[in-house]
């Protein structure tokens, strides 16, 4: 057989001894740092995963807060719009009521003014009619009383009509 294909016992012995020495040296000097590095890497990965989970939870909380704030802002906007609409409606109604009241007051003043003007005009017409009647009566009496007999007859008729008590 070919010595390269079938190992001899001595070679096998020395390979096992060399493997054990290398294994002992690796376990003594290299295995601990490698395991330490692997543990550190595992801890770093766990820490990163927990931080990612915390960040995810914080993002969900922030999203919920943002939605709540948005809802509150919309409600506040609706409230402010309603108050503004109510205030505008109230102002319009007040202005309308004030205008109606002012119109009624002006109409009443106009009525009073018309009544007063009517009374003044009637008084003036009566005074004018009285003055005119007196003027007409004076002219008629002057015509009738041009002679002395007509004057005496008129005085007697007045005295007879006037009751003397």
| Tens digits of residue pLDDT in 87-116 | 999 999 999 999 999 999 999 999 999 999
| Domain assignment present for 3 | no
Q: How far apart are CA 63 and CA 59, in angstroms?
A: 6
| Domain assignment present for 135 | yes
| Domain assignment present for 57 | yes
For the record, the structure tokens of 117 come out as 């003007």
Could you list the residue range(s) of the whole structural domain that residue 122 is in? Answer: 9-161
For the record, the structure tokens of 91 come out as 């102002």
Using a cut of 0.75, tell me whether the model's pTM lies above it: no
| Domain assignment present for 79 | yes
| Domain assignment present for 27 | yes
DSSP 126-144: HHHHHHHHHHHHHHHHHHH
Q: How many domains does the chain have?
A: 1
| Domain assignment present for 4 | no
| Domain assignment present for 2 | no
């Amino acid at each position: 057989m070919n010595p390269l294909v079938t190992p001899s016992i001595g070679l096998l012995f020395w390979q096992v001894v060399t493997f054990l020495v290398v294994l002992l040296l690796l376990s003594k000097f290299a295995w601990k740092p490698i395991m330490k590095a692997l543990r550190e890497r595992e801890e770093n990965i766990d820490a990163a995963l927990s931080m990612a989970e915390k960040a995810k939870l914080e993002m969900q909380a922030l999203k919920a807060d943002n939605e709540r704030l948005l809802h509150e802002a919309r409600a506040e906007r609706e409230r402010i719009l309603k108050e503004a609409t109510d205030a505008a409606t109230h102002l319009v109604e007040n202005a309308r009521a004030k205008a109606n009241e002012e119109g009624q007051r002006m109409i009443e003043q106009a009525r009073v003014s018309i009544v007063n003007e009517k009374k003044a005009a009637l008084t003036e017409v009566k005074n004018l009619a009285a003055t005119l009647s007196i003027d007409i009566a004076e002219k008629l009496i002057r015509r009738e009383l041009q002679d002395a007999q007509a004057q005496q007859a008129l005085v007697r008729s007045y005295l007879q009509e006037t009751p003397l008590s």
